[in-house]
Amino acid sequence: MKDNQIEELIERLGTTQDEFTRWQAAESLEKIDPGNPKVIEAFIKVLDKTQNEFTRRRAADSLGKIDPGNPKVIEALIQVLDRTQIEKTHRQAAESLEKIGTVNPKAIEALIELLQTTQDEKTRRQAAESLEKIGTVNPKAIEALIELLDRNQDEKTRRQAAESLDKIDPGNPKAIEALIQLLDRNQDEKTRRRAAESLDKIDPGNPKAIEALIQLLDRNQDEETRRRAAESLDKIDPGNPKVIEALIQLLDRTQDVFTRWRAAVSLEKIGTGNPKVIEALIQLLNRTQNEETRRRAAESLGQIGTGNPKVIEALIQLLNRTQDEVTRWRAAVSLGKIDPGNPKVIEALIQLLDRTQDEDTRRRAAVSLGKIDPGNPKVIEALIQLLNRTQDEDTRRQAAVSLGKIDPGNPKVIEALIELLQTTQDEDTRRRAAVSLENIGTGNPKVIEALIQLLNRTQDEDTRRQAAVSLGEIGTGNPKVIEALIQLLETTQDEETRRQAAESLEKIDPGNLKVIEALIELLDTTQNEETRWRAAVNLERIGTGNPKVIEALIQLLDRTQNQKTRLRAAESLEKIDTGNPKVIEAR
């Protein structure tokens, strides 16, 4: 059937005078049996016989997909390049050769000839791109692309040649020399930027490339080109003293905010711990009036100045001097990274908490304080004061998060979070306080009591569920917790809350008869099938061999018509009472 279909389509391809019909036949053949010799032969004939250029392009496109490396196909596409005068067809044939003619000398030769003979710049660019992909390390292809860089006056074509050279043979000395000359000679800034980008890819560490890029930084007045050169330099040889010196000079010399930013980023990448880089960034902090530049310098110092006293001093001064809140919190974040536990850093961040009226800055400072010195009494006191003083709930929540990390079991922290739980009217804040108490208050009677009260007092089901989760984590074996969660099971109308209460009960005291009784009752009272089958799973985990659990699951099998619930109940029965006939019946 397939062979007949192929024969019919090949005949249609060869005999029809209607180009649209030909095109449809070609498309069908391409899908049905790529690589079939008869199909390939038919496409080659179409290339040769048709006078319609659209059909030629369609056939060339198909041949580029169906049999990579086929010499007949490559020969046919080369003939198309030679025979047609239509540039679109040239480009399609070049693109197809790129796909099927990797390292084929004839294909490479044909594309080089196209590069040199065509007067159409789009076609030249396509030929250059195709050579890049099939002419890897081929000396003739490299020579042709270098000639194109040198001879051609079209800047887009030059940029394509530069891009192709950086891919075709990384490290090739002739390619590097050509790109350096392009940097020096060309007046088009886009082309210069493309050459700079190619140089950072083709030979990292090459002294001539580094020298050319440094000269570009020094000589060029185009800020975008300078930025591109700075980016290439940070990739080409990290740690090179000449590169570092050039980027430091760029920081000092340029008045362009974005160029300074780019130089700071490059120095951050290559200058970790370097005293000259650190000094230059500190000077930039002090000299510039531009807040964006200050922030960038502060961020870079935070990455490369770990433990450095000068960096710490400079960032603390920035905290105190700037009136810009974004700069303040950027400095706060950097200080939090640079030297955890440093008393000066801690003192500066505590003062920032107290002095600023900006809530976002307060939150950033709270984040930093929560990371840098667990257990520090001054930090704990400052965060507790922040909890009490601010009216901003986001800030309260962040302070609660930081307190939840800083000192597990600390009575002052626990007391402050319990008070927050009881006084705030914001449910998100309540939930956040519950999580923090869960983290630091395992087994603490006051924490457990506060969370039980929260269960009873709040009308918010999300908060109830969080309280149930927290109690399930910290109240293992506690009779009051069990009682409270059983009561929640019985009183809430929210099925998700019921499921969470059941989950927490399972964790708190496996085998507890009251817990088992409550979960059996939940099986009986809920009308929600998901709650039923989840309760069945809970019972499976805690009720192995328990006759009441077995009976309840059997009754559930008898009562429910829900297939998923029946399967879950049967699985649970099978695990806790192997061989029960009800299991076989349910399955």
3-state class of 408 per DSSP?
coil
> Which positions ≥6 away from 250 have C-beta within 8 Å?
217, 226, 230, 259, 260, 263
Mean pLDDT over each residue of the chain, to the nearest integer: 89
pLDDT at 40 over 90: no
pLDDT at 377 over 80: yes
* Candidate from 282-286, 355-359, 369-373, 499-503 with smallest mean pLDDT: 369-373
Contact 544, 512 (CB under 8 A): no
Q: What's the rounded Cα separation, in Å, for the pair 565 and 553?
A: 10
Between the two ends of the chain, the Cα-to-Cα distance in Å is 45
Mean pLDDT of 498-511: 89
| Nearest Cα to Cα of residue 269 among 287, 288, 243 | 243
pLDDT band at 26 (very low <50, low <70, confident <90, very high): confident
pLDDT band at 584 (very low <50, low <70, confident <90, very high): low
| Nearest Cα to Cα of residue 482 among 514, 455, 517 | 514
> Which positions ≥6 away from 434 have C-beta within 8 Å?
421, 451, 454, 463, 466, 467, 470
> Which positions ≥6 away from 25 have C-beta within 8 Å?
9, 10, 12, 13, 16
pLDDT of residue 579: 65
CATH code at position 244: 1.25.10.10
pLDDT at 586 over 70: no
Question: How many other C-beta atoms lie within 10 A of the C-beta of residue 85?
Answer: 7
Domain containing 229 equals 207-215+222-271
**Maximal C-alpha separation, the chain:** 93
Domain annotation covers residue 69: no
Question: How many other C-beta atoms lie within 10 A of the C-beta of residue 333?
Answer: 20
> Which positions ≥6 away from 164 have C-beta within 8 Å?
128, 129, 131, 132, 145
Q: What's the rounded Cα separation, in Å, for the pair 208 and 196?
A: 12
Domain annotation covers residue 441: no
Query: In this structure, which amino acid lies at residue 415?
Result: E
Q: How far is CA 211 from CA 182, 266, 310, 322, 351, in A?
A: 14, 17, 32, 38, 47
pTM over 0.85: no
Q: What's the rounded Cα separation, in Å, for the pair 157 and 173?
A: 21
Q: How many domains does the chain have?
A: 2
Contact 102, 132 (CB under 8 A): no
Contact 446, 416 (CB under 8 A): no
Residue 274, phi then psi, degrees to nearest 5: -75, 120
Q: What's the rounded Cα separation, in Å, for the pair 403 and 440?
A: 9
Query: In this structure, which amino acid lies at residue 324?
Result: D
Q: What's the rounded Cα separation, in Å, for the pair 33 and 31?
A: 6
Domain annotation covers residue 103: no
| Last residue in a domain, options 248, 271, 294 | 271
Domain annotation covers residue 232: yes
pLDDT at 463 over 90: yes
Q: How far is CA 484 from CA 71, 527, 536, in A?
A: 81, 22, 21
Contact 466, 496 (CB under 8 A): no
Alpha helix ranges (H) inside 475-546: 479-491, 495-508, 513-525, 529-542
Domain annotation covers residue 586: yes
Domain annotation covers residue 436: no
| Nearest Cα to Cα of residue 207 among 168, 242, 179 | 242
pLDDT of residue 583: 53
Contact 237, 243 (CB under 8 A): yes
Q: Tell me: the pLDDT tens digits for 155-177?
A: 999 999 999 988 888 888 998 89
The number of C-alpha atoms within 13 Å of 539 and in the hemisphere containing its C-beta is: 36
> For the chain, what is the total number of helices (H) and then of strands (E)?
35, 0
Here the tokens at position 523 are 């099986």
* Candidate from 84-93, 250-259, 370-379, 486-495 with smallest mean pLDDT: 370-379
Residues in the chain: 587
Residue 206, phi then psi, degrees to nearest 5: -65, 120
Mean pLDDT of 263-286: 91
Domain annotation covers residue 166: no
Q: Burial level of 449, CB count in 10 A (0-12/13-18/19+)?
A: middle
Domain annotation covers residue 543: yes
Q: Burial level of 239, CB count in 10 A (0-12/13-18/19+)?
A: exposed
Q: Tell me: the pLDDT tens digits for 415-450?
A: 999 999 999 999 999 999 999 999 998 889 999 999
Mean pLDDT of 397-411: 89
Query: Percent of the chain at pLDDT above 70?
Result: 98
Residue 306, phi then psi, degrees to nearest 5: -50, 120
pLDDT band at 585 (very low <50, low <70, confident <90, very high): low
Q: What angle do CA 225, 230, 234 make, to 5 degrees?
A: 150
pLDDT of residue 540: 87
Tell the residue number behind the tokens 């929260």, with chain if given: 454
| Nearest Cα to Cα of residue 84 among 53, 126, 115, 55 | 53
pLDDT of residue 184: 86
Q: Tell me: the pLDDT tens digits for 549-560?
A: 889 888 988 888
| Nearest Cα to Cα of residue 16 among 61, 58, 55 | 55
pLDDT at 478 over 60: yes
Query: Percent of the chain at pLDDT above 90?
Result: 47
| Last residue in a domain, options 271, 287, 305 | 271
Q: What's the rounded Cα separation, in Å, for the pair 504 and 474?
A: 10
